[in-house]
Structure 1
Amino acid sequence: MSQPFAVTVIGAASTTFGPKLMRDAVNFSAFEGAEFRLVDVAADRLEIYRRLFERVAAKAGRKVTIRATTDRREALAGSKYVIISVDRGHYHTWRQDFTIPNSLGARQVMGELGGPGGIFHSLRQVPLHLAFARDIAELCPQAMVMVCSNPLNRICQAMRDIGGLTNVVGLCHGCEMAIYLFMPRFMEIPGDDMEITAVGTNHLTWMLGLHHKHTGEDLYPLFRQKVARLEPNQMPMCRKLMDIYGWFPATLDGHAGEYLAFAHEFCGLKGFPFDDSLQAEHNRWEYMRTLADDNAVWESYERRYGDQLKLSRELRLDDFFAVRSWADTLAGPVIQGIEGPQRTRMPAINLPNTGQIANLPAGLFVETPCFVDGTGLYPLAMGALPAPLAAFCRRDLDVCTATVDAVRAGTRNAILAAAVLDPTCDSIRNTEAIIDKMLEVQAEYFKDTFRG
């Protein structure tokens, strides 16, 4: 095992990311003796999160040092790993990203990562992450920077191309969730017994292989049989794409549909359940706060978590102390692979294309399986994607590049140039109206980056 190391976590007090990080910290032995430096702008929430983290680690017997600060520069100095999960405005701005463009003629199915909503999400997120990149370059230039924020590939590309960081890794748990949450129910096979091969760009990966991990059996024929028996309203877009091209999108309708002009025909325009999600976050935070501060509630939780309490299950807190074979943040198994004794296979890691996908542009971030060990990350060379699938991914990378260029330029015309490339754009007039309205409504986010 390696020497103790420091992990800086920017955005640590998130009610979504925080519990996942705590779970991984206690489940992966590589973190024994590590120092976690928790950073967030919300000092009160950060302190509560620190206390809960200490309780969780103590209960699990994981010896770690936990520090909390609102000063990221203080935390970054000398860090070996930096994990980032930050979103400016979160559900409030995402709701605007979805509703405003759609009210002006766009047909976005989610408005988070693709479409004009995804572009404005990027315009808010990328400059913030570039500020992180400047501090990292100064204070811990050798650190591995693990980005968990969205829009992931645009942030990663900007931190490398504009921020000058050379060790940026994009982590998305979509494939892990498919294998361990969706596939076991759908295939009636435990997640630990399946291995998925998903290739493409973040949130637009294509399942090119599905095998039994221990026997090597090709499970795709069984998968196709089960898909054919689905009800018409179950994953209609992905099923149609598999009918046409022979391969199934690994990220299902909601994510893959963000990058496809016709997705609204299958997914509708209902969007994300913002109100329900805000309430769930509020409930989760209140329970986390109570667990951190109320000894009686904590003791009750310790006694009863194994009974799968309804509230605890909803908060995804019931398995804080359970050893399991998969991780939500992906930072856990990556660090375990580097610091631990065994090589780790990751189903999906986002890295610059150095040959992983032969028919996608070199140097742009693509998502493929990857091996991790003490000498680094080794993405698998997957050859060429089937040509039509590569065409979909190439368009996504074109929009990614244009969006990063728009951040660099800071002009309305550069934003328009990126938006017109997006597959959801079918009217320049409408797109210009969307841009003008979004710049007006979200002006507070662009006062330092937009030059007109």
Structure 2
Amino acid sequence: MSFKIAIIGAGSVGFTKKLFTDILCVPEFKDAEFALTDLSEHNLQMIKAILDKIVQSNKLPTRVTATTDRRNALEGARYIISCVRVGGLEAYADDIRIPLKYGIDQCVGDTICAGGILYGQRNIPVILDFCRDIREVAEPGAKFLNYANPMAMNTWAAIEYGKVDTVGLCHGVQHGAEQIAEVLGARSLSDLDYVCSGINHQTWFIDLRLNGRKVGKDELFAAFEAHPVYSQQEKLRIDVLKRFGVYSTESNGHLSEYLPWYRKRPEEITKWIDMSDWIHGETGGYLRHSTETRNWFETEFPQFLESASKPIDPSRRSNEHASHILEALETNRVYRGHFNVKNNGVITNLPADAVIESPGFVDRFGINMVSGITLPEACAATCISSINVQRMSVHAAISGDIELLKLAVLHDPLVGAVSTPEEVWQMVDEMVVAQARWLPQYANAVPAAQERLSKSSVKTRDWAGAARRSVRSIEELRAEKAALKQAV
């Protein structure tokens, strides 16, 4: 099979390598063309060198091209995969830093919360540019696979305003299932059958079966409480399981951002999180992790290039959805997964226009969602709070209406639990001014925002957050890696 796959944001080197090797685990795809595009010529050349080494080492006919000309990369593409972060780590640092001045402590800040909403404002205009190019130069009927956060907002904009066949993809469901299989003592993940449904990063295991036997709340709660590691790292998720009756797919730190009861006061934050790794609730944890990962890759690039000479091993194919979707569409080998699409009645007690994450099957006829799912009421209520914020955020990003943007931020559950309206109004002004270069839709609003900031009397605080760790140097990372290897 010969077709073209374009990867936008291919400078996300590690993730692009994973997608590439996953796709080449499908024997029929060896003749595919991969067109890489990114704003960074430096990153493009690094990832192209790695992928070329994989192709050469495995003696494949696969073609890899790299260009900063996105339109050229998309020309004739049947599949377009996006993993972009508009504004990079510079803008992301503002997503964490500025809200902290107003008492808003985020672990990740890439979905909702003040940081996630502004992230969406940066991404959506660019997503619509992608969609325009897809409509104009890609293969007719091309499919857009969005991996970029904020998942729901980006996918919502691409479907409703970009008018492109789009599916949003995430790996939270798979990671949650791996945890459940472990605590229940499953011999392998295939012993566990599950249904997850909700919205991205707030998806819920509403049906669990181990070797065909239904697993209830009490059994699952006891299993997590007894686990020597998860009982400490996932305290918040376990508490939600106890109160809601179902387990969340999302990590302890991420979930804490959407449920304000756990993150609205510093003493509550430290009570529910774990500092053994960023994902368990650390202030700005993902920003630190992303910064360290980038620095590490730059320094250790020769080792990454050397590792690319290893043979592709289909048994090590990851559970990322992209390669499995392409395989199902092209070969008709049916794939079951959890996908982000417009609801349109799939989940009965969520709005029709919302982007949901729920089970579906893929074959040559496309992605076919399982309809008629009803969430437990507490799960639906939590999801609807976020959906209302997402809807306003998307509409603000499209219109450039800064007042609607402020209302979206005000209605965010964590922001509303921590900040006053006056603080929110000033915070949004400050974030829009700081990120103006990535927010073309707000260009006309920036001068007035600057004027308001010059006269504002709202007090802010110089606060690093309740649980902040410093970015580690390459030497520190190398020493920690060596110590872990020695311990094993």
Q: Per-residue deviation at 1:147? A: 0.3
Match of 1:153 in 2: 152
Q: Is the CA contact 1:10–1:72 (under 8 Å) kept in the aligned structure 2?
A: yes
Post-superposition Cα deviations, 1:294-326, rounded to whole Å, max 9, x if no partner, equal xxx46xx75xx7xxxxxxxxxxxxxx7222375
Q: Is contact 1:97-1:117 (8 Å) kept?
A: yes
Instruction: Supply the distance in 1 between the matched residues of 2:376 and 2:176 (Cα, whole angstroms).
Output: 22
Deviation at 1:383, TM superposition (A): 1.9
Secondary structure of the equivalent of 1:349? strand
Alpha carbons of structure 1 residues 96 and 364: separation in structure 2 relative to 1, 3 Å: same
Q: The residue matched to 2:294 in structure 1 has which SS?
A: helix
Letter in 2 for 1:394: I
Equivalent of residue 421 in structure 2, options 428, 439, 447: 428
- SS of 2:387's equivalent in the other structure is helix
1:387-406 paired onto structure 2 within 5 Å: 387-406=377-396
Partner residue, 2:485:
none
1:279 maps to a residue whose letter is E
Q: Please give the alpha-carbon distance, in whole angstroms, between the structure 2 residues aligned to 1:151 and 1:139.
A: 26
Q: Is residue 98 from structure 1 mapped to residue 96 from structure 2 by the alignment? A: yes
Aligned partners of 1:200 and 1:393 also within 8 Å: yes
Could you give the per-residue CA deviations for residues 60-92 of structure 1, whole angstroms, max 9, x where no partner exists?
Answer: 454322121111111212211111110023333
TM-aligned CA deviation for residue 230 of structure 1? 4.8
- Indicate conservation of the 8 Å contact 2:402/2:442, yes or no: no
For residue 430 of structure 1, report the CA deviation from its aligned partner.
Answer: 1.4
CA contact (8 A) 2:13 2:43 kept: no
Q: 1:429 to 1:324 in 2, by over 3 A?
A: farther
Aligned to 1:287: 300
Measured in 2, the distance between the counterparts of 1:145 and 1:160 equals 10
Look up the equivalent residue of 1:144 and give its one-letter code.
K
User: Quick one: distance in 2 between partners of 1:378 and 1:80?
Assistant: 19
Identity %: 26
Q: Distance in 2 between matches of 1:193 and 1:100?
A: 45
1:414-450 deviation digits (Å, cap 9, x = unpaired): 1112112211133211111211111222222224544
Question: 14, 17, 36: which is aligned to 1:16?
Answer: 14
Cα distance in 1 for residues equivalent to 2:317 and 2:175: 9
C-alpha separation in 1, matches of 2:72 and 2:302: 25
Please name the residue that 1:309 is paired with: none
Cα pair 2:205 2:247 within 8 Å, conserved: yes
Secondary structure of the residue aligned to 2:240 is: helix
Query: What letter matches 1:387 in structure 2?
Result: E
Whichever residue aligns with residue 345 of structure 2, its letter is G
User: What is the aligned partner in structure 1 of residue 364 from structure 2?
Assistant: 374
Aligned to 1:314: none
- Picking from 220, 223, 235, the partner of 1:223 is 220
SS of match in other structure, 1:188: coil
SS where residue 369 of structure 1 aligns?
Answer: strand
Structure 1 runs, 4 residues or longer, greater than 6 Å off: none
User: d(CA) in 2 for partners of 1:55 and 1:110?
Assistant: 34
**What residue is the counterpart of 2:241 in the other structure?**
242
The residue identity in structure 1 corresponding to 2:4 is: A
SS across alignment from 1:27: coil
| Deviation of the 1:53 alpha carbon | 0.7
State the secondary structure of the residue aligned to 2:157: helix
Q: What one-letter code is carried by the residue in structure 2 that aligns with 1:239? A: I
| Inter-partner Cα distance in structure 2 for 1:240 and 1:274 | 26
**Cross-structure match for 1:54:** 52
- Distance, in Å, in 2 between the alignment partners of 1:33 and 1:61 is 12
Match for residue 127 of structure 2 among 121, 126, 129: 129
Is contact 1:176–1:326 with CA below 8 Å preserved after alignment?
Answer: no
Residue 29 to residue 286, structure 1, CA distance change in 2 (3 Å): farther
Distance 2:60 2:320 in 1: 18
Q: How big is each residue's C-alpha offset from its partner over 1:164-212, in whole Å with a ceiling of 9 and x where there is no partner?
A: 22x11000011122334x3454333222332332110000101112223
Which residue of structure 2 lines up, in the alignment, with residue 317 of structure 1?
Answer: none
Equivalences for residues 143-222 of structure 1 within 5 A: 143-165=142-164, 167-180=165-178, 182-189=179-186, 190-212=188-210, 215-220=211-216, 222=219
Q: Deviations over 1:40-76 (max 9, x none)?
A: 1212321232221122133345432212111111121
Question: Matched residue of 2:413: which SS?
Answer: coil
* Cα 1:256–1:450 shift into 2, 3 Å: farther
Task: Report the Cα offset of residue 291 of structure 1.
Answer: 4.7
Q: Distance in 2 between matches of 1:376 and 1:447?
A: 35
Uncovered stretches (5+) of structure 2, i.e. residues with no partner = 274-280, 446-488
Would you say 1:451 and 2:444 are equivalent positions? yes
Please tell me whether the aligned partners of residues 127 and 449 of structure 1 are also in contact (alpha carbons under 8 angstroms).
no
Query: Letter of the aligned partner of 1:110 in structure 2?
Result: V
Opposite residue 225 of structure 1, the aligned amino acid is A
Letter in 2 for 1:65: R
TM-score, normalised to structure 2, is 0.81
Give the 3 Å change call, closer, same or farther, for CA 366–65 of structure 1 in structure 2: same
Kept in 2: contact 1:15–1:281 (CA 8 A)? no
1:338 is aligned to 2:329: yes
Contact 2:400-2:441 at 8 Å conserved across structures: no
SS in 2 for 1:338: helix
Give the match's secondary structure for 1:9: strand
2:484 corresponds to = none
Partner residue, 1:110: 108
Map of 1:274 onto structure 2: 287
The 10-residue stretch of structure 1 (68-77 or 270-279) with the greater mean CA deviation from structure 2: 270-279
Contact 1:5 1:34 in 2 (8 A): yes
